[in-house]
Structure 1
């Protein structure tokens, strides 16, 4: 098990979200420019490149808002005092029935984001996810089962901070 500095992990999360924000801003700009470009407007109702590009721009815009919201959440986050009970901002090490360990950060936003800390992957999960909601209130040593995608999985909380 890797000894984790939660402040450094938080800094890595913010850095990754900042990089994602830059990529999203570029994608929105490109999609918007494409949607209004003269070559995409089409001369008949069957030429839909402009319409498709506008849908893409709309989707990219929504993604940009999601990343902005997640970045704002983590930038204003003040880490709580260490607690043995899992809650928001807990860094959790889980072991499955095959003793494979996963490092998870429980958050209110940015579910699915992955970062690397000292060559250890950490996945952000939200309390709205099945696994996240199952973790809330657990402590090191607790065992539980959860059904995800029709498959029951067993986990043990190895540690939390």
Structure 2
């Protein structure tokens, strides 16, 4: 990969990280409000149990705990993306953390997978020249992420999804 393509790929990857981080920041703001509201509801005087069967306070505390965990997960994902070494993926011919990977079946749709340590399932779009690329973030813990790691161009990839098997091969790694 020549210097110009390396620079463009870094810009694309930085753009992906910035877009996904912005989505996570929005979600974090909402989750913080939800966690605060759930905590207030759990400790409100109206939530005090009036009988042994009144479980409103317990339910509210479970909700508050879940919302707090979600806040922690989002903060963790933001931190992971911020510290993702994108340059390291450019020197590897294998699929590694930070790689952009395209499968043969996704060529026409300009669909790419971005391997990241967190934020799996988030999507964004990046303009590559005159083409709009659709990016889906996947983690190594996902079936597709696990199947792609350490593969090279032209390697077959087989992923079991429920009772189906998806068979494809890698056409590009950036």
TM-score normalised by the chain length of structure 1: 0.85
SS in 2 for 1:80: helix
> Could you tell me which of 31, 44, 55 is aligned with 1:24?
31
1:71 aligns with 2:84: no
SS in 2 for 1:8: helix
Stretches of structure 2 lacking an aligned partner (at least 5 in a row): 1-7
Matches within 5 A, 1:6-155: 6-81=13-88, 82=90, 83-96=92-105, 102-118=111-127, 120-155=133-168
Residues 67-97 of structure 1 show CA distances to partners (whole Å, capped at 9, x for unaligned) of 1111111112231242332110001122449
- Structure 1 runs of 4+ aligned residues shifted over 6 Å read none
SS in 2 for 1:110: coil
Q: Is the 8 A contact 1:36 1:50 kept in 2?
A: yes
Stretches of structure 1 lacking an aligned partner (at least 5 in a row): none
**Matched residues in 2 for 1:28 and 1:117: separation?**
33
Residues 5-36 of structure 1 show CA distances to partners (whole Å, capped at 9, x for unaligned) of 11111111221121121111111101101111
Q: Is the 8 A contact 1:110 1:126 kept in 2?
A: yes
Deviates more, 1:84-93 or 1:36-45: 36-45
Deviates more, 1:54-63 or 1:129-138: 129-138
Q: Is the 8 A contact 1:88 1:107 kept in 2?
A: yes
Cα RMSD for the two superposed structures: 2.3
- Which has more helix, going by share of residues? 2
C-alpha spacing 1:101/1:59, structure 2 compared with 1 (3 Å) = same
* Count of residues paired in the alignment: 159
Q: Is the 8 A contact 2:159 2:167 kept in 1?
A: yes
